Structure 1
Amino acid sequence: MKAAPQAQQRLIDLQELDSSLDRLAHRRRTLPELAEVARLEERLTELRDAIVAAETAVGDLEREQKKAEQDVDQVRTRAERDQRRLDSGMVTAARDLTNLQSEIASLQRRQSDLEEVVLEIMERREEADAQVARLRSEQATAQQELEALAARRDTGFQKIDEEAGTTSAARTAVAKDVPADLLALYEKLRGQHGGVGAAVLHRGSCQGCRLTLNTADLNRIRAAADDEVVRCEECRRILVRTAESGL
């Protein structure tokens, strides 16, 4: 492949701009805020699930408490009815009086047991309500942190995107100075070699793979015409010759 020395020199300018764009893209992908945003989003998802579970538990306890209170009311009503019968003097037979008094005592014990159940459920419900409140507080704090982090992330994105836009415009201008066939080869090699398609030959060393060329390769390059596009025999990148190439 042939290309004017000036066009080959422009490859180095193009490579520097492309490397800058690669670094900017890497910075964009690895902003510290991205990991924190992902962590908080995951935590918020966990909190939402935990809140649903806690609120479901509160709802279950509300129904359980309501049922227990209804049981207390039923026993209390029956005991009050029996007490009224006892107090009315309508029951006079000794055996009936004994049975009625025994039933009232039994109902009172039953009522006491059921009231203990209600109190125990109320305590559990208070704990469940407190858990919901704690989770909602943590959720609010995490949401505020997420919004602040997202704002910093977006600011970082904006700065990087602005710099990338300026660099891309400069790249477009430089690429116009490179012949189409040379540009195509450069792009192909960039894709094959980690983003570096062209490198300077500096004092006998390829600055792409950082290896020193052997004497035979240097002699071959030394004998090549100025407009010949030469390649590194080690990494196959385009080698751009300069006054510092050591030829």
Structure 2
Amino acid sequence: MKATPENQSILLDLQAVDTRLDQLAHQEATLPQTAQLAELTERLAELNTDAVNASTELSDLSQDVRKAEDEVEQVRKRTTRDQELLDSGSITSGKQLEEIQHEITSLLRRASELEDAQLEVMERAESVQSRVDDITGKISEVQQEHAKVSAGREVAMAQIAVDRADLDSQRVGLASRVPPDLLALYDKLRDTLGGVGAAPLRGSRCEGCHMQLPPTDLKAIVEAEPDEVVRCEECRRILIRTANS
């Protein structure tokens, strides 16, 4: 394959642009914000699950509190009714009076037990409510951090898009100055050789694979016509002869 030295040298500029495009693609794929967002999203999911569980527990406890309040109220009403009956003087039977007094004593004991149970449930509800508030606060903090990191990622992505558009434009201009057959070979080599299809020859070293060329290979390259497209015998990349070759 033949191409003018000028056409061949353009490949180095094209390679530089393509390398930068590859670097941008890697940068885009490995933005630290992306990993941070994944961690924050996972953390939010965990907190939301905790919030649902705590809220469910709080709802159940609230029902228990209301139930306890109702039971206490019923016992108090019954106690009041018995006490009013006792105070009315309408009961003359000693046995009946004794029964009512015994019932009042039992009701007061029951009311005390229910109030203790009610207090215990209320304390548990307060503890769970505190946990709900704590989780809610953490969710808010993580959401704010998520928004901040997301905004930073958008800025980084926007800059990458600007840089890529500029490089794409440069690539179109450079590629248009390379003969089609040489460009096709270069693109094919890039695809199969880790993104590097052309490299300069510096002294006796191929800058593509960083191998020193054997004297016989180097002699053949040096003696080749300027318009002859030469390739590294080690890595098969296109070698561009420069003033340092």
Short-chain TM bin: over 0.9
Counterparts of 1:189 and 1:105, CA distance in 2? 98
Identity, in percent, stands at 47
Query: Which residue is equivalent to 1:13?
Result: 13
Query: Which residue is equivalent to 2:198?
Result: 198
Counterparts of 2:76 and 2:136, CA distance in 1? 39
Q: What secondary structure, in the 3-state scheme, does the structure 2 residue paired with 1:239 have?
A: strand
Q: What secondary structure, in the 3-state scheme, does the structure 2 residue paired with 1:234 have?
A: coil
- Which stretch of structure 1 is more off in the superposition, 171-180 or 50-59? 50-59
Q: Aligned AA for 1:84?
A: E
Q: Give the gaps of 5 or more residues in structure 2.
A: none
Query: Which residue is equivalent to 2:122?
Result: 122
Q: Deviations over 1:68-110 (max 9, x none)?
A: 1111112222222222222223333333222222221111111
Moved over 4 A (4+): none
Q: What secondary structure, in the 3-state scheme, does the structure 2 residue paired with 1:100 have?
A: helix
Q: How does 1:56-135 map to 2 (within 5 A)?
A: 56-135=56-135
Query: Which residue is equivalent to 2:188?
Result: 188
Query: Which residue is equivalent to 1:32?
Result: 32
Q: What secondary structure, in the 3-state scheme, does the structure 1 residue paired with 2:239 have?
A: strand
Query: Which residue is equivalent to 1:162?
Result: 162
Q: Deviations over 1:103-141 (max 9, x none)?
A: 211111111111111111111111122222222222222
Q: Aligned AA for 2:101?
A: Q
Q: What secondary structure, in the 3-state scheme, does the structure 2 residue paired with 1:196 have?
A: coil
Q: Deviations over 1:190-242 (max 9, x none)?
A: 12222111111110101011010111211232343322222212212111112
Counterparts of 2:163 and 2:173, CA distance in 1? 16
Counterparts of 1:161 and 1:104, CA distance in 2? 83
Q: Aligned AA for 1:135?
A: I
Q: Aligned AA for 1:64?
A: D
Q: Aligned AA for 2:56?
A: T
* TM-score for both structures, normalised by structure 1: 0.92
Counterparts of 2:183 and 2:92, CA distance in 1? 117
Q: Aligned AA for 1:141?
A: E
Query: Which residue is equivalent to 2:45?
Result: 45
Q: Aligned AA for 1:54?
A: A
Query: Which residue is equivalent to 1:176?
Result: 176
How far does residue 171 in structure 1 lie from its aligned partner after superposition?
Answer: 0.9
Q: Aligned AA for 2:155?
A: T
Paired residue total: 245
Query: Which residue is equivalent to 2:227?
Result: 227
How far does residue 7 in structure 1 lie from its aligned partner after superposition?
Answer: 1.5
